Structure 1
């Protein structure tokens, strides 16, 4: 009886940890299309390691601020939307500041194409 309980507990722990890892992985890499788009962006722009590192740090900071803003229940929907636009504008400015002038031109062109396509 004790062996059965021990085995059941072990299976339960292993199963739970497997689900936790799966969820963490799906959050990090949402879809193959998203991953491919990020790789394509990096390759087309010819980002250096330093630029890539700076962009990742800025993206992480942006996501944290956005999550904090979305949790703020004191804001009305219109205020939240306005603050989100401001946050996004600052985020894009920081991203642009890490790029060279040639890369900025490419990014603007890519954004324009994406906006027109979707």
Structure 2
């Protein structure tokens, strides 16, 4: 950059790539949301499927106090993935506008020569 040999672009961000990648975050957010819903409804529906033996009791003691925290954390991840999708789309749209603004700031304006007056204004 700055050597005068470039293609005139100020920043090298491919907005098409950003917009093409953004939906992946939305899709994965939906997938995680479905998995979380399945986990919560299945475990709630089964009660305590880990049993009443020693291993079941140990699992229950470790899992049950953390169950809601795990569910909240997964819910936060879902929201994060969806917001990344939205932010990437906004960033791509904003970059297009910003690229035009920056290009305008660094583009030389060519003076028009008014015929016959020697270029005087």
TM band (smaller chain): under 0.3
Give the TM-score, by structure 2 length: 0.27
Q: Which has the greater radius of gyration?
A: 2
* Structure showing the higher helix proportion among its residues: 1
